[in-house]
Chain A
């Protein structure tokens, strides 16, 4: 009887020792050992969601563990980023976001995180945007529109999908540089703005590629694009830089993880997602969206965001973009 009890005790002791060892054993195994949660910072069905989901399908094959994509919408990505910033930095909770939520939103309104709470893993897409007018309007180039605005102050108005967006900033940057005035008419989203410019209710629209089919079909004319490079579909349309304006829409779609994630895990994720980007299905989807497949690794993305953050800070001041007053 006594003997038996002792034996049971030994077994329990043995199990206890094993349990204590378990974390060490699992630590010894290479990351990842369990499914990875990937939070998309916008609601399902949008461009970020669509491109991330395809990327995730490819990345999970490389990582050997499922990548579970879920969406947390709200506040231009800031609700999700606020949540992810508080997660344990162990590489099992990562996020796919637009750089907007990291560099622009925190400078415009109070949010419970800063861009320094995140380590970028890589960015995979750069977003395109541009300025369009109706094709039966007399403006053939950006210069025509600027000259008309110079002669008729207040007559030119333009739609965007949001105050403080890069598309809004681009227009105000031009106005500031040329010393002209035009009226900003913000809309809630690209579709209503598109309707407004097609219906002739506003002179122009400065927005992401919602206008694309209409430019191809001929009802709208693309005057200028805001990207680093010209768009493949419209090689003859200049970028703002081509015209001498030092402005690009710096928005990128990126994967990030909370600050403090071990460098080895960041490296592993960086490699996996970079490899996933080579998949033809992913490339085709991004091209269909008329974005550019663009890659920067963790280190370069960090620098890129830092620069963009500072440039944006200067721009807000210079262009008088309204922002939430800071709390005392």
Chain B
């Protein structure tokens, strides 16, 4: 069977009425879960899993996949409207998305996020059809040294996230690394910096951290300036992205899709990292990088496309190798096993209906999401008109539920409230939260990769440069770091010359 015959066969599977229904339920639940801050896809999928025991494996998988990429769609909504990321992978969307909303351009921001997601989902799907097997094999050549090099590059991106002072961004990144090192040390299996608190053995939870730094602090900041709100409410202009918006965003969508797809394949925080990388790339290639942080539409289009493409990309290791690259894929893995389907290299051969049915359902689900989400934009924008005295308690409630529902542990609520207060102080003094989050995600992976590499090499640092992929990546990272200094030198020289005169 060629790819086209196979995909036709897949559509036959998908367009059975029950499967269409499951797909629709999945994307609807996913959108809701994505919009509600904190209630993550993993929790929603795991809760629905026992309900699927009676249904065929293909229908179950179609529904779970629908939830997964539905969440990526919905996650941007709260980021843009109220500056609260629904998921870690929408953190970066807050920066420019919320600024757009403040300028009365929430509609175009939501619109470009939805279209970007649709296009990215489709690109990722095409990639999944044609190149999944060779790409999955290539991903295996990434060992600890390669990850180390990749994470180094990732951390240098912090300097591109800075809206104001680079020094402050780097300081926040260091705080993020310190926060990331709380919990079990993977190499010795012993707790670090937990101060005897048992709940901290798994580290500071990312959801309470993100919700606190963004959500709670946003509420606190807004409480202070609620008088100014009338202004930005009055300026809700058009609901759809204009032709100018499209012209600005189209390449950002394409670049975001490719970055997301490739990084999504790698085990670890692929989706989260891809959004940061996509943002940094957009800022780097932009003609006027100073627009970023002030409502640049590329700053929404790039990352939002990236996280959807990453959702598609992360299916590759699971379906073609049987390796779940993130906790959500681990639930897919369980779902397959419960239904007696053995995930692994033989899955495509042994269960073609499942594989091709799932891929065809991704096309269907993406289309359904677009149909579902575009009319909702008008409704979401109205959320901004809800008076603060009603909106804020609601947001606070959802944040509390979200932080609690991850592990059902009260301690996570304290963590969220603590970082809410910390986030408020940070904003007062112009420290940004995004570099902290990126470093928090990358720090532990960097440390593990470094220590694993050195264990393998018996302590020799040559392992990082003697292997081609890591050598090239580290060289690239080094150049990237250097390139940051050129504008600085130029400025200093100018200042110096000005001083001489």
Contacts and interface: CB of A to CB of B under 8 A. Distances in A.
A79 B338 contact: no
Given A109-B191, A213-B345, A73 B338 contact: no
A45 B456 contact: no
Contacts of A323: 190
Nearest to B50: A53
B193 interface: no
B199 A74 contact: yes
A288 B110 CA distance: 43
Nearest to B331: A45
Interface in A233-252: none
Interface stretch (B237-245, B320-328, B434-442): B320-328
Interface stretch (B20-28, B87-95, B136-144, B480-488): B136-144
A47 B144 CA distance: 27
Interface string B354-380: 000000000000000000000000000
A262 interface: no
A163 B184 CA distance: 10
B342 A110 contact: no
A219 B201 CA distance: 35
Contacts of A79: 198-199, 201-202, 407, 409
B43 A322 contact: no
A49 B334 CA distance: 10
B142 A199 contact: yes
B344 A214 contact: yes
Interface in B325-339: 325, 327, 330-331, 334, 337-338
A24 to B, nearest CB: 34
B187 interface: yes
Nearest to B202: A74
B408 interface: yes
Contacts of B337: 50, 285, 288-289
Interface centre among B43, B188, B198, B199, by most chain A C-beta atoms within 10 angstroms, is B198
A289 B342 CA distance: 9
B407 A45 contact: no
Contact of B187 (A49, A163, A165): A163
* Chain A contact patch, size range: 35 or more
B199 A75 contact: yes
Contacts of B325: 191
Nearest to A53: B50
A47 to B, nearest CB: 7
B138 to A, nearest CB: 10
A144 interface: no
Contacts of B139: 195
A201 B344 CA distance: 20
B46 A44 contact: yes
B334 A45 contact: yes
A110 B201 CA distance: 10
Interface string B450-461: 001001101000
Given A45-B331, A74-B201, A79-B407, 6 more contacts: A44-B49, A45-B327, A46-B334, A50-B49, A74-B199, A188-B448
19 contacts: A44-B43, A49-B46, A53-B49, A53-B50, A75-B199, A76-B201, A78-B198, A79-B199, A79-B407, A112-B198, A186-B187, A186-B189, A191-B267, A191-B323, A191-B325, A192-B268, A194-B323, A213-B343, A214-B344
Which 3 pairs show the lowest CB-CB distances between chains A and B?
A213-B344, A44-B46, A201-B143
